[in-house]
Amino acid sequence: MSRKWISFPIREGESSRQAHCDFPQGTYEREMGREGFFGPASHLHHKHPPTGWIDWEGPLRPHAFNFNQIPSEGDCPLQAPLALHNADVKLRLWKTNGAMRHLVRNGDGDELLFIHEGAGHLYCDFGHLEFRDGDYLMIPRGTAWRIEATQPVFMLLIENTDGAYQLPEKGLVGPHAIFDAAVLDHPRLDDAFRAQQDENPWQIRIKRREQITTVTYPYNPLDVVGWHGDNTVVRLNWRDIRPLMSHRYHLPPSAHTTFVANGFVVCTFTPRPVESDPGALKVPFFHNNDDYDEVLFYHRGNFFSRDNIEQGMVTFHPCGFPHGPHPKALKKASTDPATFADEVAVMIDTRRALEVGEAAAAVDVPEYVNSWRAPGKES
């Protein structure tokens, strides 16, 4: 069993005995932590909210993007507009309707599709799988696939360009916590899969080094009659995730990790009760982005720690400054706290700095940086 030596933090001045609980009167806690909540950390208690700025100049700043406004309709996911990216991950948006008349194969990395809206059928080398809103579809590198939408589909494509997606180590809570691997689904060689096999010409569009090559076959290459192994497409819906929670302590985002990749993680925030202990923090704590860029895609619900954010929008908080709950959310948490967090969001935390692509830059919300200012404070 894993273990660690007992160690005591250094203390100076007025501080709480426990992180995220029972702050000194009139103070605001800020966590300065390393390695995404897993490394050394200190908790500083400030007289003012760490996000109470009145002016902001320069390229480093918090961003909000309205991904609903990105023109991303098309018949090929490999050509979906690029929103955010670095050497480890590429984040794209794709909207489609009807049936793809060709196959695609990504030779650059594994794909993780998050279905924000819509429903349909996925056909791939491994068989047939239905999907709906809220599904993650993990597609291994080199898999040929296509979809037939039964409802208009709006999806987030998270490409892992340096390795495979894996599940997080769940430590003390054991392998069945958060979600049991038994809820994961895989494609089947069912009647629907066999029915789509034909002897008509089909194309596979292959992406490698960001270039697309088209290969034509005189038949449908999805002609598998059987397979065995453990490298396959996997489906997980957020509704099957049972989040960790504590009524006395606000857990860090890492407690909601869903997939782990080289250089980044994907987390899922799902509905849960809010902490009930009187001294426990009831909104996300102020913290620095000291090692990771943080991206949050808002899927559905009431995003209780954010202001003026709606479904289909994205926030991006790069390394270099503190962030946390917006002023209105912080005030409500102290005067009239909610008892239930009814929200679903996908978070991507990246170890390397992210670049903002043209698609995201075109739908940036420039006033987002000012939404953090304390009420009544002007530049």
317 annotated binding-site participant: no
**Does an H or E element contain 360, and which?**
helix 358-361
128 annotated binding-site participant: no
327: phi then psi, degrees, rounded to nearest 5: -55, -45
Both structure tokens of 270: 């799902």
299 annotated binding-site participant: no
**First and final CA of the chain: distance in angstroms?**
54
Tell me the C-alpha distance between 50 and 32, whole Å: 12
Q: Respond yes or no: is residue 250 known to be catalytic.
A: yes
DSSP letters along 43-108, please? Answer: EEEESS-TT--S---SS---EEEEGGGS--B-S-GGGSPEEEE-SSEEEEEEEE-SB-SSEEEESS
- Candidates 20, 43, 128, 250; catalytic one: 250
| 3-class secondary structure per residue, 148-164 | EEEEEEEEEEEEECCCC
- Asked if residues 151 and 98 have their Cβ atoms less than 8 Å apart, the reply is no
Residue positions forming the annotated binding site for homogentisate: 323
Residue positions forming the annotated binding site: 287, 293, 323
Residue positions forming the annotated binding site for Fe cation: 287, 293, 323
Catalytic residues: 250
